[in-house]
């Protein structure tokens, strides 16, 4: 919950965390005492927090709010407000940090006293609420000043990237909080044309938010400076129209390409390819080969290294093409920004949770970047720590899917009837992290767990974890087995993260 820790106070974060946990529970009516047990908390604290959640819900739906005020029960089966809706209303109504950031962006001439008066807060309270946000922004060379009510930076492109992710994480495409604003919606189809088609729906919302941020920053007089590395990618590049923003009255001729490029930059600096048949791929490959040939070769050598030393064979060509293209674009982004830069991944992955399974993979990645294989790329040596992380994150899902030692070895013990036997195996084999087969007593020590239709199995093999499977279980109840297998998998791989 990195994002929420930036925007919420400690108390607000407790409300959000409880609602997050409630959203993950099976939908039914819960006695509050049972909830307290499930949450490993006291009855009084859960009751108090539910009442605070009810107050927040009043701004969404009064009927929904009433569910959280019931004296003894919480009818979770009647709660319809999503976690995203709940967080958004908390940001708008409760978060001083989010409100200040929004005010700072949308106010033509921000004066601190105006914000303090409007929101009934003191300067010391505001400063206390902004510490996490200030620390985050400082990482990217952006100074958030409370005294001057300003955002100061030497790199406007980086600052806008920060603003984009801070607002995107909170709004998820809802732009009503920024009104009134003036943008040219006709630009959106031209912008998303450079994004793979499978991402068009959400890309429209992403680029609309980018145009809104551009509008307000230009309105305040903040122009994009020239980024020489971005210039080397965009100029004399037939794939991109750098006159996109020519009809914007806030943009003069001398900054036209910088402002157009600032909107387009993410199309070539993020790993956004999924479909190997995307019609964008051929031209994008040619362009990257021309503009950043060494990064293209670095990504290719990295994949070849894993194919040679860790995979059983070559990565299938179509999958390899997508992995390679995504790695090259990610590396290009790191190069353009001169190192680390704001990204969605930061908010999604908790780096401090390092598992033994991840350590093995991470060590293999580090071995490549410490080997003689990177000698031709020492020009980028200062960027290696960030590129190493990025390449690892891109390859990790494929790696985890194909390295058999990461999978759960499951044996099945049921009555000798193919109808029962094949039914459970069909389910298990649809789960990619499970290797399932009929249990073999001679190979008992190889199983991580066994699914058995009789509890007697536990008496015969007390050392093997097992799950008792009721052969009359309805199909819809199989989801509980999946949850149990997932938890067993996490234990097996020391709480392994998937991304």
Find out whether the peptide bond into 180 is cis, omega within 30 degrees of 0. Answer: yes
Q: Is the model's pTM score more than 0.95?
A: no
Query: CA-to-CA distance for 92 and 175, rounded, in angstroms?
Result: 12
Does 38 lie in the same domain as 6? yes
Q: Looking at the structure, do residues 98 and 209 belong to the same domain, yes or no? A: yes
Contact call for residues 488 and 408 (beta carbons, < 8 A): yes
Whether the CB-CB separation of 49 and 14 falls below 8 Å is answered with: yes
pLDDT of residue 427: 85
pLDDT of 226 above 90: no
Q: What is the structure's pLDDT at 474?
A: 66
Q: What is the mean pLDDT of residues 26-33?
A: 89
Span 310-342, pLDDT tens digits: 888 899 999 999 999 999 999 999 999 888 888
Q: What is Dmax (Cα atoms) for the chain?
A: 81
Same-domain status, 296 and 248: no
Residue 391 lies in a domain: yes
- Inside any domain, residue 497: no
Q: Which domain, by its residues, includes 359?
A: 281-402
| pLDDT value at 284 more than 90 | yes
In this prediction, residue 68 has a pLDDT band, given cuts at 50, 70 and 90, of very high
Q: Are 242 and 113 found together in one domain? A: yes
CATH code of the domain covering residue 477: 3.40.50.2300
- Order the strands of the 408-413 sheet from edge to edge: 434-438, 408-413, 449-452, 466-468
The residue out of 83, 117, 143 marking a domain boundary is: 83
CA distance 381 to 374: 9
Is 499 within a domain?
A: no
Counting the structural domains of the chain, the total is 4
Helix-helix angle 156-171:131-138, to 10 degrees: 140
**Spatial separation of the C-alpha atoms in residues 387 and 381, rounded to whole Å:** 10
The residues, any chain, with a CB within 8 Å of residue 336's CB and separated by 6 or more, are 227, 229, 230, 233, 265, 269
Domain annotation covers residue 446:
yes
Q: What pLDDT is attached to residue 495? A: 44
Residue 496 has pLDDT above 70, yes or no: no
Alpha-carbon dihedral sign for residues 69, 71, 75, 78? negative
Please give the Cα distance from 393 to 399 (Å, whole number).
10
Flag whether 19 is in a domain. Answer: yes
203/342 same-domain check: no
Report yes or no: 225 and 190 within 8 Å, Cβ to Cβ.
no
pLDDT band, very low/low/confident/very high, at 113 (cuts 50, 70, 90): very high
Query: Quick one: 389 and 418 in the same domain?
Result: no
**Residue where one domain finishes, among candidates 218, 238, 267:** 267
Mean pLDDT of 357-377: 90
Which of 497, 308, 257 has the alpha carbon at shortest distance from 397? 497
User: Mind listing the pLDDT tens digit for each residue in 371-390?
Assistant: 999 999 999 999 999 999 99
Would residue 272 count as lying in a domain?
no
Nearest-angstrom CA–CA distance, 181 and 150:
20
HEC-encoded secondary structure of the chain: CHHHHHHCCHHHHHHHHHHHHHHCCCCCEEEHHHHHHHCCCCHHHHHHHHHHHHHHHCCCCHHHHHHCCCCCEEEHHHCCCCHHHHHHHHHHHCCHHHHHHHHHHHCCCCCHHHHHHHHCCCHHHHHHHCHHHHHHHHCCCEEEECCCCEEEECCHHHHHHHHHHHHHHHHCCCCHHHCCCCCCCCHHHHHHCCCCHHHHHHHHHHHHHHHHHHHHHHHCCCCCCCCHHHHHHHCCCCCCCCCCCCCCCCCCHHHHHHHHHHHHHHHCCCCCCCCCCCCCHHHHHHHHHHHCHHHHHHHHHHHHHHHHHCCCCCCCHHHHHHHHHHHHHHHHHHHHCCCCCCCHHHHHCCCCCCCHHHHHHHHHHHHHHCCHHHHHHHHHHHHHHHHHHHHHHHHHHHHHHHCHHHCEEEEEECCCCHHHHHHHHHHHHCCCCEEEEECCHHHHHHCCEEEECCCHHHHHCCCCCEEECCCCCCHHHHHHHHHHHHHHHHHHCCCCCCC
Of the candidate ranges 128-142, 151-165, 352-366, 402-416, the one whose mean pLDDT is the lowest: 352-366
Query: Is the domain of 377 the same as that of 427?
Result: no
Would you say residue 273 lies in a domain? no
pLDDT on residue 319: 96
Which of 370, 402, 434 is the last residue before a domain boundary? 402
pLDDT for the residue 498: 42
- Based on the fold, state whether residues 114 and 231 are members of the same structural domain: yes
Query: Considering the chain, what percentage of its residues have pLDDT values greater than 90?
Result: 64
Tell whether 276 is covered by a domain.
no
Beta carbons of 274 and 307 less than 8 angstroms apart: no
Q: What are phi and psi of 435, to 5 degrees?
A: -110, 110
Residues 18 and 68 reside in one and the same domain: yes
Same domain, 395 and 422: no
73 and 104 in a common domain = no
How many C-beta atoms lie closer than 10 Å to residue 90's C-beta?
Answer: 23
β-pair type (449-452, 408-413): parallel
**Count of other CB atoms within 10 angstroms of residue 58:** 14
Please give the angle made by the CA atoms of 457, 461 and 467, to the nearest 5 degrees.
Answer: 50
> Do residues 259 and 121 both lie within one domain?
yes
Q: Among 172-186, 208-222, 256-270, 469-483, where is mean pLDDT lowest?
A: 469-483
pLDDT at 472 over 80: no
């Amino acid at each position: 919950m990195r994002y929420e820790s930036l925007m919420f106070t400690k108390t607000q974060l407790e409300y959000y965390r409880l609602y997050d946990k409630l959203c993950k529970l099976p939908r039914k009516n819960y006695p509050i005492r049972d909830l307290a047990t499930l949450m490993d908390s006291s009855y009084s604290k859960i009751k108090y927090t539910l009442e605070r959640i009810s107050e927040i819900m009043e701004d969404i739906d009064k009927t929904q709010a009433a569910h959280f005020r019931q004296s003894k029960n919480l009818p979770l089966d009647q709660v319809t407000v999503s976690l995203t809706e709940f967080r958004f209303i908390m940001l708008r109504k409760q978060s001083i940090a989010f409100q200040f950031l929004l005010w700072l962006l949308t106010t033509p001439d921000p004066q601190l006293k105006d914000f303090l008066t409007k929101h009934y807060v003191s300067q010391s309270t505001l400063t206390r609420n902004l510490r996490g946000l200030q620390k985050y922004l400082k990482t990217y060379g952006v100074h958030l000043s409370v005294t001057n009510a300003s955002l100061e930076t030497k790199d406007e492109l980086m600052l806008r990237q920060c603003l984009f992710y801070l607002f995107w994480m909170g709004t998820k495409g809802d732009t009503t909080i920024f009104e009134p604003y003036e943008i040219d919606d006709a630009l959106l189809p031209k912008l998303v044309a450079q994004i793979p088609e499978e991402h068009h729906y959400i890309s429209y919302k992403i680029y609309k938010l980018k145009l809104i941020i551009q509008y307000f920053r230009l309105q305040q007089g903040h122009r994009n400076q020239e980024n020489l590395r971005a210039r080397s990618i965009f100029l004399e590049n037939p794939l991109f129209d750098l006159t996109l923003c020519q009809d914007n009255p806030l943009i003069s001729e001398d900054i036209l390409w910088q402002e157009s490029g600032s909107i387009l930059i993410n199309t070539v600096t993020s790993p956004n390819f999924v479909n190997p048949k995307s019609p964008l791929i051929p031209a994008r490959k040619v362009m990257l080969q021309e503009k950043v040939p060494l990064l293209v070769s670095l990504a290719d050598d990295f994949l070849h290294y894993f194919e040679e030393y860790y995979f059983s064979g070559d990565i299938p060509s179509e999958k390899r093409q997508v992995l390679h293209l995504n790695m090259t674009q990610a590396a290009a982004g790191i190069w353009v920004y001169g190192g680390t830069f704001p990204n969605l991944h930061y908010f999604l992955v908790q780096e401090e949770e390092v598992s033994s399974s991840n350590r093995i993979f991470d060590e293999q990645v580090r071995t490549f970047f410490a080997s003689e294989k990177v000698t031709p790329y020492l020009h980028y040596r200062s960027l290696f720590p960030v590129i190493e992380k990025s390449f690892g994150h891109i390859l990790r899902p494929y790696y985890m899917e194909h390295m058999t030692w990461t999978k759960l070895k499951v044996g099945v013990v049921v009555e000798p009837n193919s109808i029962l036997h094949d039914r459970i195996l069909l389910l298990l084999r649809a789960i990619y992290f499970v290797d399932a087969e009929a249990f073999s007593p001679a190979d008992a020590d190889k199983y991580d767990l066994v699914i058995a239709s009789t509890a007697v199995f536990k008496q015969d093999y007390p050392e093997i974890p097992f799950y008792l499977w009721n052969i009359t279980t309805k199909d819809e109840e199989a989801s509980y087995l999946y949850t149990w297998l997932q938890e067993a998998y996490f234990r097996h791989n020391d709480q392994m993260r998937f991304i």
